[in-house]
Amino acid sequence: MGISTGRARPGVTQVTLDFPPVNAPPVQGWFDLASTITQAGEDPDTHVVILRAEGRGFCAGVDIKEMQRTTGHTALIGANRGCAAAFAAVYDCAVPVIAAVQGFCLGGGVGLVGNSDIVIAAEDAYFGLPEVDRGALGAATHLARLVPQHLMRTLYYTARNIEAQQLLQHGSVYQVVPRDELDAAALALAEEIAAKDTRVIRRAKEAINGIDPQHVHRSYRYEQGFTFELNLTGASDEARDAFVNGSRNA
């Protein structure tokens, strides 16, 4: 369990999230993911990274239960900084990152996927930001990389989900495949990219990031500032307590 890595094929490094039951990494898990992805990109033998997950869903976001059982604001600050680090590691990875998404991709999962270079999804994949129902704000920056502006606002305010097939129509998901073909589809595309001159692909990644109209790191940290404000008002704790109590009663 945790974050694991392996060489799926020559030039292809696979990074896997495995935090049962719903892949909601604890604070340290986000930092571990950030360092793993960064190290993979720094390895000259890695030409492409595949970011995938074990279990029924890709990622359910931060571990809210960890946050609520921790006194003070240590876990909140840690989760915010950990997510920022992990999202940045995906975006800044020296080689392309392919996200292979199954089942639910929520909260922090959207942050990871939105900063990936390519997204391949299983037919059962869906994406959403339940942040407003959890007393937090964040990852609108990354959802805006998956859907147009007005749809992003609708999904954000309502905390509704959007299915992979809909994102395929918007062009933000490259391919939708049956669940049992997800890993193979991601690997096939990764091998195609890995076969190219990694010197050229690495410069291509740097160049594309350099012309991005949105400064994703700064805008995400700006969003997080309002999360801290909501915590000061007590609204965030109330929402998180309601979520934790509800999950216990479910």
pLDDT tens-place string over residues 138-163: 999 999 999 999 999 999 999 999 99
Tokens 């020296």, located at residue: 94
Where on the phi/psi map is residue 173: left (φ > 0), alpha (ψ -120 to 50), or beta? beta
Instruction: For residues 29 and 141, give the distance between their C-alpha atoms in angstroms, rounded to a whole number.
Output: 22
Q: Is the per-residue pLDDT at 244 higher than 90?
A: no
Percent of the chain at pLDDT > 90 equals 84
Reported as type and span, the H/E element at residue 141 is: helix 140-143
237 CB burial (10 A radius; 0-12, 13-18, 19+): middle
The chain-wide mean pLDDT, for the chain, equals 95
Contact of 5 with 18, CB cutoff 8 Å: no
Beta bridge partners of 48: 12
CA geometry: angle 148, 130, 58, nearest 5 deg: 85
Where on the phi/psi map is residue 212: left (φ > 0), alpha (ψ -120 to 50), or beta? beta
Residue 6 — φ and ψ, nearest 5°? -165, 160
List the domains of the chain with CATH numbers: 2-180+198-249 (3.90.226.10)
Structure tokens given for 195: 């076969």
Tokens 């990354």, located at residue: 142
Q: pLDDT tens across 45-59, in order? A: 999 999 999 999 999
| Mean of pLDDT values over 182-201 | 98
Beta bridge partners of 97: 49
Q: How confident is the model at residue 23 (pLDDT cuts 50, 70, 90)?
A: very high
**Which strands sit side by side in the sheet containing 118-122, from one edge to the other?**
2-9, 12-18, 48-53, 97-101, 118-122, 175-177
